[in-house]
């Protein structure tokens, strides 16, 4: 039973990792590019719509990933 739970948690962890990678890659990438090359316009705006959803979804996935990692550690120790 314990081995079965470990396998399920490992597969869920892999799926969550892939989702975290995809959600990070889908976010607005050009936001910090101007600052990196000394660019100028300091425009502050709020996140709206899909951008806001993706931001909070990424945070939730990372928290879920930490919880799953701790559960895997608990069941292997």
pLDDT score, position 58: 95
Residue 66 located in a structural domain: yes
Q: By the 8 A CB rule, do 34 and 41 touch?
A: yes
pLDDT score, position 71: 93
Q: CA–CA separation, 74 vs 57, rounded Å?
A: 26
Residue 40 located in a structural domain: no
Residue 35 located in a structural domain: no
Structure tokens at 24: 């990070």
Q: Which residues contact 27 (CB under 8 A, 6 or more apart)?
A: 51, 54, 55, 58
Residue 37 located in a structural domain: no
Residue 60 located in a structural domain: yes
Residue 33 located in a structural domain: no
Q: Give the pLDDT confidence of 5-57 residue by residue, as tens digits.
A: 899 999 999 999 999 999 999 887 655 555 555 555 556 667 778 888 999 99
DSSP secondary structure letter of residue 37: T
Residue 16 located in a structural domain: yes
Q: How many domains does the chain have?
A: 1
Please determine, for residue 75, whether its predicted confidence score (pLDDT) is greater than 70.
Answer: yes
Q: Which residues contact 53 (CB under 8 A, 6 or more apart)?
A: none
pLDDT score, position 31: 55
Domain limits at 59?
Answer: 2-28+45-76
């Amino acid at each position: 039973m314990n081995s079965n739970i470990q396998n399920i948690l490992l597969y869920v962890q892999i799926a969550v990792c892939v989702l975290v990678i995809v959600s990070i890659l889908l976010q607005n990438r050009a936001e910090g590019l101007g600052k990196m090359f000394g660019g100028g316009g300091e425009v502050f705006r709020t996140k709206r719509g899909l951008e806001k959803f993706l931001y909070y979804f990424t945070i939730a996935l990372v928290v879920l990933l930490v919880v799953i990692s701790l559960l895997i550690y608990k069941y292997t120790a």
